[in-house]
Chains A and B, each alone.
Chain A
Amino acid sequence: MKDLKSIVLVEDNPNDVELTLEALREFNLANEVVVLEDGAQALDYLFAKGSFQSRQPGNPAVVLLDLKLPKVDGLEVLRQVKSDPSLKSVPVVMLTSSREEQDLARSYNLGVNSYVVKPVSFGEFVNAVKRLGVFWALTNEPPAGSIKSAQQ
């Protein structure tokens, strides 16, 4: 069995982290979800530096990126990812509550793959995540004998 690519979730709000993880669990995804709390951590992880120097090599299947983040904001993370030759093919989804048009325009200018305004309704949120169109990179968890646990 090949190694499954991870899903990176960059989100500083623990409630949002929990809700997102809950939503992802609904799909029975087998991928590892790496949760990072700010933009600096996200960059460290993606470029395998700092405290993530010794992480397993390889790019994630998708990056779910909050726009408003402590230290380094989402747009800056997006810019660095999309300007790096080895990272720019990784799909990035902006996951944010902002409806500000200029954020939308700036994200698209920087090459974001998808932009989702987090709906207040959890159901709508789940649907939005489903619509992301990155499922080809994700693998549903087999009913029994979890690979996830085998990986661990």
Chain B
Amino acid sequence: MSQTSPTSPIVRLFERSSSFVSFVLIGTGSIVLMGWCFGIPALIGGIFGSSPMRPLTALATSSGGLALVILNTKSRKSFWMPPITMALSCLVVLIGVVSLLNKTPGLEEFLRISSSPVPTPASAGTMSSASAITVTLLGTALLLMCGTERWINAGQLIALMALVVVLLPGLGYVYGAGDLLQTRFYSMIGVLTVLSLAFLSAGILFVRPGLGIMKTLSGDEPGSVALRRVLPVVVIGPVFLGWLRLTGERSGYYDASFGVAIMTLSNILLVAGALYFSARSTNKSRAILEQSNFELKLAEDKFRTTLDHMLEGCQIIGYDWRYLYLNAAAEKHNRRPNAELLGKKYMDMWPGIEATEVWTVIRRCMEERLPHRMENEFTFPNGSKGWFALKLEPVPEGIFILSEDITKEKQLSEELKKHHEQLENLVVERTSQLEAAIKELEAFSYSVSHDLRAPLRHIDGFVELFHSKESSGLSPAGRRYLDIISEAARKMGNLIDDLLSFSRMGRVEMMKSRVDMNALVRDAIAELKAQINGRVVHWNVGDLSSVTGDASMIRQVWANLLSNALKYSSKKDESIIEVGSRVEHEEFIFYVKDNGVGFDMQYAPKLFGVFQRLHNTRDFEGTGVGLANVRRIVTRHGGRTWATGEVGKGASVYFTVPIQSPEDAS
């Protein structure tokens, strides 16, 4: 608050006036010097009949102006600017000191002062002592302007002093105080010199308005504002009053003592009035300030209360890494009292933090001023751990850390992960159990194929032997018994074979490819021709869609369905067998329809079961595995099977194959 912002409009105004003044000074000095050089009296500044400006004063004015210009430039920090400014300042000091010692320098000779257009009094060629002192003081002040604030402060005081010294003859001119100007000290000081030196003083005072004593004048504080209001009144008012008093006195309206009384009273009124108004405006600004402070505090309190009660932890860490603010949630997150941390350095409070990732991130946020968010597992000094979601934001005070305790969520997700893994393991375990069970089944069917068939083979073999070697003495009935035994053994062999093929259909790996159904049906019908035995059979085969599947399996499906149709229509005079396909709901539907014995629909669900038969063996041979095999194969292709029929009127068997064959149907 105490530091005036460099962008303050007052400061800028002061700087600009200083800059303006510096150019006026350079111009004035140069014109006067030219006047002396070329002998032009109009240019040397003998205005109002006063003494002209001395060449040395003009030189000092120009040099001072130039130094001010440099002090006002933006590049005042560049390395060659300060030396030039200092050299110019030194030149000004030198001119002042030399003039003070009343030594006529060769310069005036060089400038052909002898051909001076103006008659010069006794101290011709040199400036008055007042000018010399003022020039010395101003040179010194300029020199000090190159230094730090402390030096600038001193420089401004010296410039002020110079202003006082030079204002006295100035006022003298205003009041026509010829006597004063006749003193040796002020002799020969011209109006232009007075104005130029006053301007130079002002330029020096305003060149660094934000620093030193000028800070008070340029500031934003109520005091500074009041000072800026009162100062012109207090400076100009008495001058005007003094002139008024003198004029009245000279005109004979009143005598000197009355004049002094009037003027004193006027001054009292003026100063008192100025002070009164200044005080009033100060009070008013103070009230405004207090109000705004109050409002600011309210707003701050509101923010602070919000921060205090936020569920997220809030921490502010200053540029010096000290904790500036911590809310209640942060206390919970840090697991230590806030009082223990406030004002302490972050890294001192968390020893070893410098080795962690979170430190790297916080430090980068502090240095690069970029926001960042992360999830971090924090290890507390006591060894316990916690997960936190952190948001880091650069703020004017340093950095702001918003933390959210996500330890529970992390634990939950960890647990979920663990459960998931357990489930996965369980699935693997169960799968291997299933695989073992399947292996066992395979071994079982293998031994069925091997061991169950052996006794049958023996029955058949020995009956055969008996038949060929020992049956000569047997009765016809005895021979029939032997035939039945052989036939039974053969049937059981077929049953076992079918059962094995059924179990194999469920196990073998599917070799998927494009399957031409027309070709499969053609082949299957060709194979069946041998069984027709002169029967009349009409095959009505429509155009069939191709599918994706295991060709040898689907061949089995057609073989079973077509041989069934042929078998169950064998009692008819003419068999009519229809084969066709259509597309419905993303699947191909195939069907085989016959005009055979048909079946009762109430037994339809049994049709596709293993060893389920709807007709006795005497009428139709079969083991009851054919349709079960069809269903198993179709199911493995992702399709469905069903049948419709009516006793005596034939049956239709349907199966479907999905158009988009499932990748791993099994």
Contact = CB atoms under 8 A, between A and B. Distances in A.
Interface of A: 13, 15-16, 19, 22, 67-68, 96-101, 118-123, 125
Interface in B433-465: 446, 449-450, 453-454, 456-458, 460-465
B465 A97 contact: no
A3 to B, nearest CB: 31
Contact of A13 (B454, B486, B504): B454
B456 A120 contact: yes
Interface in B457-475: 457-458, 460-465
A123 B464 contact: yes
Given A13-B454, A97-B454, A99-B500, A121 B449 contact: no
A23 B582 CA distance: 55
B490 A98 contact: no
A22 to B, nearest CB: 6
B449 A16 contact: no
13 contacts: A13-B454, A13-B458, A16-B458, A19-B462, A22-B461, A99-B497, A100-B446, A101-B508, A120-B460, A121-B460, A122-B457, A122-B461, A122-B463
Interface residues of B, number: 22
Given A19-B462, A99-B497, A118 B457 contact: yes
Contacts of A67: 450
Given A13-B454, A120-B456, A120-B493, A99 B449 contact: yes
Given A13-B454, A120-B489, A120-B493, A125 B449 contact: no
Contact of A122 (B449, B460, B497): B460
A23 B191 CA distance: 157
A19 B453 CA distance: 15
A22 B460 CA distance: 14
Nearest to B456: A120
Contacts of B504: 101
- Residue of B449, B493, B508 ringed by the most chain A CB atoms within 10 A: B449
Interface string B482-521: 0000100110010001001000100010000000000000
A59 B92 CA distance: 135
A100 B449 contact: yes
A96 B450 contact: yes
B465 A22 contact: yes
B446 A98 contact: yes
Interface in B358-410: none
Contacts, number: 57
Contacts of A22: 461, 465
A65 to B, nearest CB: 14
A13 B461 CA distance: 13
Contacts of B497: 99
B453 A120 contact: yes
A122 B500 contact: no
A121 B464 contact: yes
Interface in B76-105: none
Nearest to B468: A122
A135 B463 CA distance: 27
Nearest to B467: A122
Contact of B490 (A13, A118, A120): A120
Given A120-B490, A122-B460, A16 B465 contact: no
B464 A122 contact: yes
Given A19-B462, A99-B449, A99-B497, A121 B490 contact: yes
A91 B460 CA distance: 28
Nearest to A23: B461
A19 B461 contact: yes
Contacts of A123: 464
Given A97-B450, A118-B453, 16 more contacts: A16-B454, A16-B458, A19-B457, A19-B458, A19-B461, A97-B449, A97-B454, A98-B446, A101-B504, A101-B508, A120-B453, A120-B456, A121-B486, A122-B457, A122-B464, A125-B457
A122 B458 CA distance: 8
Nearest to B460: A120
A113 B454 CA distance: 23
B446 A120 contact: no
A121 B460 CA distance: 6
Contacts of B457: 16, 19, 97, 118-120, 122, 125
A13 B455 CA distance: 10
A105 to B, nearest CB: 12
Contacts of A101: 504, 508
Contacts of B489: 120
A135 to B, nearest CB: 22
B447 to A, nearest CB: 9
Contacts of B500: 99
A99 B460 CA distance: 19
A68 B450 contact: yes
A3 B449 CA distance: 40
Interface in B498-553: 500, 504, 508
A98 B456 contact: no
A118 B493 CA distance: 11
A105 B493 CA distance: 23
- Residue of A16, A68, A119, A121 ringed by the most chain B CB atoms within 10 A: A121
A96 B454 CA distance: 9
A98 B448 CA distance: 9
Contacts of A16: 454, 457-458
Contacts of A68: 450
A101 to B, nearest CB: 8
Contacts of A15: 454, 458, 461-462
Contacts of B449: 97-100
A122 B450 CA distance: 17
Nearest to A119: B457
Contacts of A125: 457, 461
A135 B666 CA distance: 46
B520 to A, nearest CB: 21
A67 B463 CA distance: 25
